[in-house]
A and B are shown apart, each in its own frame.
Chain A
Amino acid sequence: MTLTAEDVIRRNHVNVFGRGTKPMIFAHGFGCDQHMWRFITPAFEKDYRIVLFDYVGAGSSDLTAYDPTRYASLDGYVDDLLEICRALDLRDAIVVGHSVSSIVAVLAAKREPARFSRLILIGPSPRYVNDPPEYVGGFERSDIDELLSTMERNYIGWANYLAPQIMKNPERPELAAELTESFCSTDPEIASRFARATFLADNRADLQGVRVPSLILQCADDLIAPNEVGEYMHRNLTDSTLRLMKATGHCPHMSHPEETIRLIREYLRDQNASTARE
């Protein structure tokens, strides 16, 4: 089935705004949707054409487009990103990816390098589960299993109550909105699959041969992507810049938007300067 540009834009709830011409596309991480960028995008609206979207299964995307096979691995999410780039005919876009979306951005840049000029990777990790002795991802497999069970326990309350209501009341979109409001993600099955695709992936080998330059933003005390992982990314990604942030936690774009904006700006400015010199 071929999707038209309009289909993709509707499917992924794509929002385009900003007064610049250079495209800057923001890819949200696991557990949330495009709303998470709202503290960052105002700073770039003046100079860039901002593109926001929800992966299928998240936020206000078209849930009927969810195909468990396609989204069983990160490749399905890479397809989403590339299809949006094609629908909007983006070239040389700056892609800002949070967490799992950093890896999605890396994979997309390998497949279609001409689409992207820079990758901004916030809290990236190519593999979350430890692989002793040479690799520390930060987690044991049992941690991920327990995370899935914690998610299930939290999703089950509203899934039992609200999900059937939405199925029966398609004319009442506020019910779906309520659900999205409460969890940024609308279906426990989808969330659980996304968690598996994210936390059980091993994309270490994919870091080789990426031709698009990248900025790695590494938070202090980030449990999900610890310092060692940021350094691993930096060592293995050609033409990457690693910046250690004062921001702690895993969502600096939400907890420390000013520092995040400043580091992205500095990187883009330095890159432009070096490109101009070349």
Chain B
Amino acid sequence: MTRTPAQLESERGAGPIAERWDLAPCGLVSVRDDGIIVAANLTLAAMTENVGEELAGQSIETLLTIPSRIFYQTHVFPMVKLHGRADELYMTLRTRSGTPIPVLVNAVRRELESGAEVDLAILRIREREKYELELIRAKKAVEAASAAKSRFLSMMSHDLRTPLGAISGYAELIEYGVRGPVTEEQIADLVRIKRASRSLLGMLDDLLTVAREQDAQLPLRLEPLSIQTELTEAEATVLPRYVDARVRLVLEACSPELLVRADRDRLQRILLNLLTNAAKFTPNGGKVSVGCAVVANRAAIHVADTGRGIPPEMLERVFQPFVQVESDDAGKEHGMGLGLAIGRELARAMGGDLSVESAVGRGSIFTLTLPTAAASG
């Protein structure tokens, strides 16, 4: 017997459990292994335009669209039978008049003396369904676009390398006097041309790395490395920049026994990027200090600068590709905003992480963590 909304409303008070079951804000149904409904609540009956009592004895399949019946038989029933439960299943109910209703279903199986029963809670997701579909569509579009971008980046960076090689090659020929006498001023210009093309080449390498990392993971060669040694090597490489920028680089002593498990090339790449960035974003007369620490079985390398800091809303974004904190120092060179994105990817690939703490006006501390390695390794 169906009840009017008014009757339902009056019963909605402190009724017995049976009434709460009937009026629960989701469809509730118990079925046997063969799919025959043992009990269904009024909410489910109303949802599917059925009369409550009529549902008992019917197959659960009669409440589903044909595709959802196949899904029930091939996925839901085996899953619940084998594992005792299934959560957040997307299915489509069908009302008596044939209207499809998207629902989410949770199912739990109970072993009873009279045989097993499966309890299903069924929640209508009419609105959620729409934006979920849109999200899936948008996600697919983004994935396709990202794959296209990666392909484009890797092709472009390859193609740009050839003319770049020609530029520095010919500049070198002229510099060495192969084409005739060269003045001091011309040599200075040629050195600038070569430096600029090296910097371009570095950017292309970064682009290629990003494109590749998105395509496939490159194999890592993990080995025990001394932090002290690696930092000293990186320092030697970046020192000329620091001299140019009139920024002081202070390497605090790390224990020579402190070893991390990392890929040497990748670690150097991260360190060089952190140190170069710090030089770039620290004003003349500033200081960059590098220190290390061990927490649990992780080693941490801190690179702290006295630059202008990163606004809170940019803290996570700086690790996204092609994102840069705006610098008002027009005189300094700029990259493409790939270094930190690559650095974090690489650090995570090696089982570590790259993070930042910063406050505007008080500088930034970038922290690279990596798993420590046994000294005997």
Contact = CB atoms under 8 A, between A and B. Distances in A.
A223 B70 contact: yes
A254 B75 contact: no
B77 A157 contact: no
A247 B65 CA distance: 22
B59 interface: yes
Interface stretch (B47-55, B89-97, B317-325): B89-97
B33 A146 contact: no
B151 interface: no
A111 B195 CA distance: 68
A144 to B, nearest CB: 8
A254 B33 contact: yes
A31 B75 CA distance: 5
B173 interface: no
Contacts, number: 97
A254 B67 contact: no
Given A248-B34, A248-B59, A32 B70 contact: no
Interface in B31-52: 33-36
Nearest to A38: B82
Nearest to A246: B34
Interface string B60-87: 0100011111110111011101110010
A256 interface: yes
B104 to A, nearest CB: 10
A76 interface: no
Contact of A184 (B66, B73, B78, B91): B78
B70 A147 contact: yes
B35 A147 contact: no
A248 B62 CA distance: 13
B345 to A, nearest CB: 11
A250 B79 contact: no
Interface of A is mostly: helix
A2 interface: no
A29 interface: yes
B68 A249 contact: no
Interface string A166-193: 0110000000000001111000000000
Kindly name the residue among B78, B81, B217 whose own CB sees the greatest number of chain A CB atoms within 10 A: B78
Interface string A215-241: 000000101100000000000000000
Given A139-B66, A248-B59, A255-B33, A150 B92 contact: yes
A268 interface: no
Contacts of A6: none
A151 interface: yes
Interface residues on B, range: 20 to 34
Interface string A31-73: 1100110100000000000000000000000000000000000
Contact of B71 (A147, A182, A255, A256): A147
B74 A29 contact: yes
B136 interface: yes
B132 interface: yes
A254 B77 contact: yes
Contacts of A251: 73, 77-78, 81
A16 interface: no
B70 A36 contact: no
A150 B78 contact: no
B88 interface: yes
Contacts of B75: 31-32, 151, 154, 183-184
A116 interface: no
B89 A249 contact: no
Kindly name the residue among A32, A35, A249 whose own CB sees the greatest number of chain B CB atoms within 10 A: A249
A270 interface: no
Contact of B78 (A32, A156, A223): A32
Contacts of B92: 146, 150
Interface string A126-144: 0000000000000100011
Contacts of B88: 157
A30 interface: yes
Interface string B10-34: 0000000000000000000000011
Given A35-B82, A181-B83, A254-B77, 14 more contacts: A32-B75, A144-B67, A146-B66, A146-B92, A152-B136, A184-B78, A221-B59, A223-B61, A223-B66, A223-B69, A249-B34, A249-B77, A251-B78, A255-B81
Interface of B: 33-36, 59, 61, 65-71, 73-75, 77-79, 81-83, 86, 88-92, 132, 136, 217
27 contacts: A32-B74, A35-B82, A36-B78, A144-B67, A146-B66, A146-B67, A147-B70, A150-B68, A151-B71, A151-B75, A152-B136, A153-B90, A153-B132, A184-B75, A221-B59, A221-B61, A223-B70, A224-B69, A224-B70, A224-B73, A224-B74, A251-B73, A251-B77, A254-B33, A254-B77, A255-B35, A256-B34
